[in-house]
Amino acid sequence: MRLHKTAAGKTPTRPVASRWFNLMTTIVESEGDVWMHRQKDQLWWTTSRSNPATFEPFKETVGDRRDVIICHKPCNPWSNKNRLGNRLEWSGLHPKAQEFLFTEGTLQQLKPNNAEYALALIDGDDLSPWHSRPEWTAKVARRQKNPGTTFNSRQKTIWRMAATVKGTVNFSNGQQVLKTVKNKDLLIPENELTPFLEALLADQEGLCAITDLPLQYDGDEDDQEMLCSLDRIDSDGHYEKDNLQIVCRFVNRWKNSSKDAEFRRLIEVVRA
């Protein structure tokens, strides 16, 4: 991991490296778990078996052609139909379900209530207890009101963070107001900012870079303090690729101008 950078061109942080390191263990130890995967416009699912995993040495055919290990975990045949035989079309899913059944991370465990919905979907059960909830009906209403809108909550979040950076940079040029405002420059080409933020959020697998808490997206949040907030690792530095991380809103506010390493230490003290 230390020799390779992520899609955002950053060296993986310890939380990111730890999640990748533990992926194979999660798969190997899985037994009787339901796994779901979106492939284009189809939703597929399977259940892991108790059979032991097998491992296969393999050399990558592209890129650095590294020697890697492929893990094969036995599971039931993958299916794109529910237990009643109805095809699971992605476009036919409720907009709210599409939000939590899609993840930019490699693996993601659903919250208990969302997991209950996923199992009911697979079983072909009545989904109206979820669809009738206010937050679910509101999601449908927003989509019907703005049928031409193609931005999902994650994309809106990225747009908002990019716009915030540009606004901050335009204001913070070292001028004197009642105090001297820190000079903050955007050292990422403007046309690369949004793709960089998309890659950065994917690298972090939708988790806060400091606390590892799940980040929430604009319009679909149930706690505004968990919304994405772009943080400069070194608050005295500029907006550049190696100096940015995405954290929860409350984390950014609490951290303020503290040294990143010191703030992380204090978070660990609280956890202990």
Q: Among candidates 85, 104, 88, which has minimal Cα distance to 152? A: 104
Produce one character per residue of 74-95: b if its CB has 16 or more CB atoms within 10 Å, e if not: ebeeebeebeeeeebebeebbb
pLDDT value of position 151: 66
pLDDT value of position 40: 84
Highest mean pLDDT among 5-14, 43-52, 132-141: 43-52
3-state helix, strand, coil split of the chain in percent (to 5) is 40, 20, 40
pLDDT value of position 73: 95
- Among 78-87, 91-100, 105-114, 201-210, name the one with the lowest average pLDDT: 105-114
pLDDT value of position 144: 67
Does one domain contain both 204 and 127? no
Angle, vertex CA 191, rays to CA 185 and CA 197, nearest 5: 75
Residue with token string 């533990």: 22
Please give the Cα distance from 226 to 211 (Å, whole number): 11
pLDDT value of position 16: 65
pLDDT value of position 179: 43
Does one domain contain both 132 and 219? no
pLDDT value of position 2: 43
Asked if the structure places residue 166 within a domain, the reply is no
Whole-Å CA distances, 143 to 7, 93, 121? 31, 13, 21
Per-residue confidence band for 140, with pLDDT thresholds at 50, 70 and 90: confident
pLDDT value of position 245: 95
Q: How confident is the model over 225-242, as a mean pLDDT?
A: 92
Q: Percent of the chain having pLDDT more than 70?
A: 83
Range of the domain at 42: 14-144
Q: How confident is the model over 48-69, as a mean pLDDT?
A: 88
Asked if the structure places residue 5 within a domain, the reply is no
Whole-model pTM?
0.59
- Among 140-144, 200-204, 220-224, name the one with the lowest average pLDDT: 140-144
> Which two three-digit tokens encode residue 68?
């890697």
Per-residue confidence band for 172, with pLDDT thresholds at 50, 70 and 90: low
Per-residue confidence band for 176, with pLDDT thresholds at 50, 70 and 90: very low
Does one domain contain both 112 and 204? no
The total of structural domains in the chain comes to 2
Per-residue confidence band for 173, with pLDDT thresholds at 50, 70 and 90: low
pLDDT value of position 51: 96
Does one domain contain both 230 and 138? no
pLDDT value of position 181: 42
Checking if the pLDDT of 85 tops 50, the result is yes
Asked if the structure places residue 174 within a domain, the reply is no
Do 247 and 255 form a contact (C-beta atoms < 8 A)? yes
Q: How confident is the model over 31-50, as a mean pLDDT?
A: 94
Asked if the structure places residue 226 within a domain, the reply is yes
Average pLDDT, whole number, for the chain?
84
Does one domain contain both 70 and 139? yes
Does one domain contain both 140 and 18? yes
154-157: list long-range contacts, CB under 8 Å, 24+ apart: 154/104, 154/201, 154/217, 156/217, 156/218, 156/219, 157/201, 157/217, 157/218, 157/227, 157/228
Do 69 and 56 form a contact (C-beta atoms < 8 A)? yes
Asked if the structure places residue 219 within a domain, the reply is yes
Q: How confident is the model over 203-229, as a mean pLDDT?
A: 90
